[in-house]
Structure 1
Amino acid sequence: MEEQEMQLKVKKVTDRLTESMYVLANEPSVALYRLQEHVRRSLPELAQHKADMQNWEEQSQGAVYTVEYACSAIRSMTYSREYFKSIEGLLRQTISTKEQMGSAPGRSTLAPQAPCPSSSS
């Protein structure tokens, strides 16, 4: 009887050892299968997110460029203040000169003359 018990115990041990070896041998395959399954499910959504982010980045860069261009235009407008002051001074000087010319003594206003008829035959 002892021999039968021993054979039973050896069979149990060998069965468990075989089962353990089978699990250990297949575990990486199962893990890789789960990873592949996860990638197949997640990849299209991730690709869409990437495309969206690239689109938003392009739009943001365009907006940044527009804002920088507007700031540059505003800065150049502040530099033009000097030119406008110069133009204003010249206009005041011209108006003053015109008024002086209009009020000069002995100055008569001439009536506009009619254009000369052309002498073509």
Structure 2
Amino acid sequence: MNTIAFDPILQEKVRKAKERISENMHILANEPSLAYYRLQENIRKSLPSVIDKRLEAEKFHRDLQGSIYDLEYSIGELNVMRGTQETFKNILELSKTALFLKQQIKYLESKKIKKNNLFDYKRFSVNIALDLPDIQDTLKETASKVESIMTNNSRHSTMY
């Protein structure tokens, strides 16, 4: 029989090479499942916060849509108001005209009253001139009564 001599160094190198090949085969065989496991673990941890952010973004979107609607409505109303500017100018002009006309009427009425008072005074003075001899004593008596009342009133008012 032939005897084969075993070299211990060679046997150790072969054993290490065999272990490395086996380990690499094991890693290659299990690598996809390990990657899927890591992905699943990452998704499980981050998904709730992603969902919360998505719901928050949807709420902001609804609020933004409502604000946009309100803004468009306000712009439309401002455009309508811009069209009423001419109407308000007309109202202002008509108010100024009405105020001016009222002042004119008031002035004419005051002038008319003064004219009527002057006319009455003239009429009265003409009558006094004609009736003067008849009422002269009565006028003197009335004047003295008025003077006495005035002096009495002035004394009473200084007392208080």
TM-score by length of 1: 0.66
Amino acid at match of 1:81: Q
TM-score by length of 2: 0.51
- Aligned length in residues: 104
Percent identity over the alignment is 35
Gaps of 5+ in 1: 98-121
Structure 1 or 2, whichever has the larger Rg, is 2
Which residue, 36, 41, 51 being the options, matches 2:55? Answer: 51
Q: Deviations over 1:23-79 (max 9, x none)?
A: 121122111101100101111110111010000111011112111211211111011
- Kindly indicate whether residue 75 of structure 2 is the aligned counterpart of residue 71 of structure 1: yes
1:7 CA drift (Å):
3.2
Question: Equivalent residue for 1:113?
Answer: none
1:15 CA drift (Å):
1.3
Amino acid at match of 1:25: A
Gaps of 5+ in 2: 102-160
1:86 CA drift (Å):
4.4
Inter-partner Cα distance in structure 2 for 1:93 and 1:15: 111
Question: Equivalent residue for 2:24?
Answer: 20
Amino acid at match of 1:23: I
Q: Of Structure 1 and Structure 2, which has the larger fraction of its residues in helix?
A: 2
Which residue, 6, 15, 19 being the options, matches 1:11? Answer: 15
